[in-house]
Chain A
Amino acid sequence: MTLTPSPEHYLVLAGILFSIGLFGILLRRNILIILLCLELMFNAANLVLVTASSVHGQMDGQIVAFFVIVIAAVEVTIGLAIAVLLFKEKNTVDTEKITSLKG
């Protein structure tokens, strides 16, 4: 393995970031940090898309990455709105204390 960045380096970096995000979603119990980790996973997927675009010499991967960024922005708007409502209703952001399905 050389030090010069190759596609594998970028893919491994994306794998590390994705796993950290997954780890955070599974283990953290703060709903805001769960959303942050979700963003981290989106970013890792984007890095793979851009790397693939560079490897194949085509722009399609970058366009899909652009779409992912837009969709993530929409997702985070709705997710945060729900998080704010949940906090006002239950006065906590701990998912272990938010147990009832009925509002």
Chain B
Amino acid sequence: METFFFWLTSTISVVSAASILFVARPTRALLALLLSMLCLTVLYTLLHAYFVAIVHLIVYAGAVLVLFLFVIMLQGLGATTLSITKRFNRTHLILTVLAGGVFAGLLTAIFSQAHLPIFKNPEGTVENLGRILFSNYLLPFEMISVLVLLGIFAAMTLAKNEKAAA
């Protein structure tokens, strides 16, 4: 069962992620990424990281991608650009080789080391995670809240400047 779900979701996520590269409309790219993220949620659940899976589902699929969708809808058809196949030139070829080189490097790094041990699978429940989050990771947690606050200020300032300019 686990094997079946792993291969199913990983195949779907790779195919939909690859389709981001080739579509012209950002809306379709966004929906492809959404599908990819839903598959990743299943993979997190298979790894017994339940809390991360749900946070990923709510924050990414729920909030971030809907924000993207709003922005794309605001921009309308102006957001459409040429697809990748219609503007392929030599610079793109070099960059393709570069990205392929990074991928080859990653694969070598994964397979060059000794065989990884099998999964121990800690239960990623809210209880287990919260205990560590509010003891060992309390300072980073508080700093994250300051960062989120700064993000709100930054977004508000950007929106205000735009109104002043218009």
Contact = CB atoms under 8 A, between A and B. Distances in A.
Contacts of A91: 78
Interface SS of chain B: helix, strand, loop or mixed? helix
Q: Which of under 10, 10 to 19, 20 to 34, or 35 or more describes the interface residues of A?
A: 35 or more
15 contacts: A12-B110, A16-B17, A16-B103, A27-B92, A29-B87, A40-B17, A59-B124, A59-B128, A63-B132, A63-B133, A76-B64, A78-B151, A84-B75, A84-B162, A93-B78
A17 B40 CA distance: 11
A85 interface: yes
B132 A69 contact: no
Contact of A55 (B26, B100, B119): B119
A103 B101 CA distance: 36
Interface of B: 2-3, 6-7, 10, 13-14, 17-18, 20-21, 26, 29-30, 33, 36-37, 40, 43-44, 46-49, 51-52, 55-56, 59-60, 63-64, 67-68, 71-72, 74-75, 78-79, 81-82, 84, 87, 92, 95-96, 98-100, 102-103, 106-107, 110-111, 116-122, 124, 128-129, 132-133, 136-137, 140, 144, 147-148, 150-152, 154-155, 158-159, 161-162
